[in-house]
């Protein structure tokens, strides 16, 4: 069997959002699932709209999500000579031809066709045929080059998402594959057009599976015809339905989509985003939560969804929460440290060393969807806290103050671990004849700055003893 070779071919215009990057995830996962090769190709031929900043966001987003490529990035602008070489070869073989129709003539043709209620299309005036006399070549005009699309018959492919697609060749006119050469150039070959560059790239890069957005489905029959003219068998195609935003519009920057890297900055785990995006257009039975390794083990092109996936923030948060629960504590500790570093929070050496921060992450991660939230929770360990004054007044009453003082005294000499702290709390509530929450809630407010936390003994054990006593006595 030939080796699977897939590609992600973004145009670096604007920024890359979740809907776009899904078109990287699927070919990546398919290549990984089949021990194949994943190629990154930057389609930067639209020079006005392309930017290095957009390329950087693509590279950063892919790196963050772990969608590492094996070959590339290849930049189309750097491959122009190669495209022109293929144009020249096709010209030599009579597979393409010069067309001198001016834009005024093309406009007039289109108007005539529209008036006759016909579909506007190039009429083949300059297409050479045996026995046909072509019009005289106008002086000083640089032609475009058109592809001699096959006449009659149809283009058929089995799309992995859409099923069998058949397009009659009569619907496809002779596509312009190169613009007019520059004034004064001695070559007839100008800048190749988008569809042509894609075909040459897919051919040269040996792409076996084209997995891309279905906004390209209309290009496919043209690309297949050009590939065949070049003596190539077309790859397998899978055209993914669009991703819609929560309002049901096509996801786009204009409609409020966020750049992929913003999810990183908001503290989402890369594996959670990968999981969420994988499910937004593909399924493995009823599995909602899976790891990257499981995705790579399971991914195939046979369970791609046919209808548009709709982004759902609440579901993303839920998926993110599930991943936080099982995330590696060492990874979380690293991400929380990065969060703090960004906020200018100094992390005490006692946390940096050893696995203390990891233990904190383990204790609080169940409550969070993101590492930003986790860093917020763990703030109590690195910065002073202030519970809302009203809550303090309601909970830290004169009646309970002696119990708090007694607990502080017990904690001065208790062994500093969860069990001993638990014993000190129990002894204190026993001594004062109060119930657990009557002591635990004020203690939380004073030490943690909030009334709800995981089990109070576990939370306290992760503080330095002195900090706890100081906050209880404050």
Considering only residues 39 to 68 of the shown chain, the ones binding ligand GLU according to CB under 6 A are 43
Residues touching ligand GLU, count (CB under 6 A)? 8
Ramachandran bin of 43, using left for φ above 0, alpha for ψ from -120 to 50, beta for the remaining angles = beta
- With 0-12 CB in 10 A as exposed, 13-18 as middle and 19+ as buried, what is 225? buried
User: Candidates 209-217, 249-257, 311-319, 382-390 — which segment interacts with ligand GLU by CB under 6 A?
Assistant: 209-217
Closest to ligand GLU by CB, 238 or 316: 238
**Binds ligand GLU by CB under 6 A, chosen from 10, 267, 309, 449:** 10
Considering only residues 366 to 425 of the shown chain, the ones binding ligand GLU according to CB under 6 A are none
Cα–Cα distance measured from residue 77 to residue 46, given in angstroms and rounded to the nearest whole number: 9
Closest to ligand GLU by CB, 120 or 241: 241
Cα–Cα distance measured from residue 202 to residue 83, given in angstroms and rounded to the nearest whole number: 12
User: Candidates 153-161, 208-216, 275-283, 368-376 — which segment interacts with ligand GLU by CB under 6 A?
Assistant: 208-216
Q: Provide the minimum distance between the beta carbon of 372 and ligand GLU in the complex, in angstroms, as a whole number.
A: 30
> Which CA distances in Å does 394 have to 3, 387, 424?
69, 11, 24
Q: Which residues contact 349 (CB under 8 A, 6 or more apart)?
A: none
Q: Provide the minimum distance between the beta carbon of 23 and ligand GLU in the complex, in angstroms, as a whole number.
A: 7
Q: Provide the minimum distance between the beta carbon of 13 and ligand GLU in the complex, in angstroms, as a whole number.
A: 8
Q: Provide the minimum distance between the beta carbon of 214 and ligand GLU in the complex, in angstroms, as a whole number.
A: 11
Which of 228, 465, 460 has its CA nearest to residue 363?
A: 460
**Binds ligand GLU by CB under 6 A, chosen from 4, 5, 6, 9:** 9
- 11 touching ligand GLU, by CB under 6 A: yes
Cα–Cα distance measured from residue 147 to residue 173, given in angstroms and rounded to the nearest whole number: 9
**Binds ligand GLU by CB under 6 A, chosen from 198, 425, 439, 447:** 198
H-only helix segments in 349-455: 349-352, 356-364, 371-378, 389-395, 401-413, 418-432, 436-448
Closest to ligand GLU by CB, 9 or 327: 9
DSSP strands (E only) in 76-169:
96-99, 144-147, 154-159, 163-168
Q: Provide the minimum distance between the beta carbon of 212 and ligand GLU in the complex, in angstroms, as a whole number.
A: 3
- Altogether, the residues listed in the chain come to a count of 474
Cα–Cα distance measured from residue 75 to residue 39, given in angstroms and rounded to the nearest whole number: 12
**Binds ligand GLU by CB under 6 A, chosen from 212, 239, 444, 471:** 212
- 216 touching ligand GLU, by CB under 6 A: yes
Residues that bind ligand GLU (CB under 6 A): 9-11, 43, 198, 212-213, 216
């Amino acid at each position: 069997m030939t080796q699977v070779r897939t590609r992600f071919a973004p145009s670096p215009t604007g920024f890359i959002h979740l809907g776009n990057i899904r078109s990287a995830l699927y070919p990546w996962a398919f290549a990984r699932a089949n021990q194949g090769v994943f190629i990154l190709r930057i389609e930067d031929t639209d020079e006005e709209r392309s930017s290095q900043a957009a390329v950087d966001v693509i590279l950063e987003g892919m790196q963050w999500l772990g969608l590492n490529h094996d070959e590339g990035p290849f930049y189309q602008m750097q491959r122009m000579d190669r495209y022109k070489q293929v144009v020249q070869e096709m010209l030599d073989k009579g597979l393409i031809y010069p067309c001198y129709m001016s834009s005024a003539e093309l406009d007039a043709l289109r108007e005539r066709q529209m008036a006759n209620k016909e579909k506007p299309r190039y009429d083949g005036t300059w297409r050479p045929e045996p026995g046909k006399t072509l019009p005289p070549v106008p002086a000083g005009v640089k032609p475009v080059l058109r592809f001699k699309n096959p006449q009659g018959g149809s283009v058929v492919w089995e799309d992995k998402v859409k099923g069998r697609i058949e397009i009659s060749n009569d619907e496809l006119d002779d596509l312009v594959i190169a613009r007019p050469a520059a004034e004064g150039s001695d070559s007839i070959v100008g800048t190749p057009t988008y569809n042509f560059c894609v075909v040459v790239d897919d051919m040269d890069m040996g792409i076996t599976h084209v997995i891309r957005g279905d906004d390209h489905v209309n290009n496919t029959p043209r690309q297949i015809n050009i590939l065949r003219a070049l003596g190539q068998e077309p790859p397998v195609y899978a055209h993914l339905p669009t991703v819609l935003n929560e309002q049901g519009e096509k996801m786009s920057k204009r409609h409020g989509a966020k750049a992929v890297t913003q999810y990183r900055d908001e503290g989402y785990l890369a594996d959670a985003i990968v999981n969420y995006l994988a499910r937004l257009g593909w399924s493995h039975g009823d599995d909602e939560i899976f790891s990257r390794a499981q995705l790579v083990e399971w991914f195939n092109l046979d369970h791609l969804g046919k209808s548009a996936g709709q982004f759902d923030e609440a579901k993303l948060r839920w998926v993110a929460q599930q991943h936080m629960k099982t995330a590696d504590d060492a990874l979380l500790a690293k991400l929380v440290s990065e969060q703090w570093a960004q906020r200018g929070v100094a992390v005490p050496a006692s946390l940096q060393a050893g696995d203390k921060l990891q233990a904190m992450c383990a204790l609080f991660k169940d409550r969070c969807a993101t590492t930003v939230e986790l860093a917020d929770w763990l703030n109590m360990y690195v910065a002073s806290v202030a519970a809302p004054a009203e809550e303090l007044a309601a909970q830290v009453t004169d009646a309970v103050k002696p119990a708090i003082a007694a607990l502080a005294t017990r904690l001065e000499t208790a062994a500093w671990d969860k069990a001993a702290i638990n014993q000190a709390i129990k002894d204190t509530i026993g001594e004062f004849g109060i119930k657990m929450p009557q002591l635990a809630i004020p203690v939380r407010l004073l030490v943690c700055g909030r009334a709800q936390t995981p089990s109070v003994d576990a939370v306290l054990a992760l503080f330095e003893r002195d900090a706890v006593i100081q906050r209880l006595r404050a």
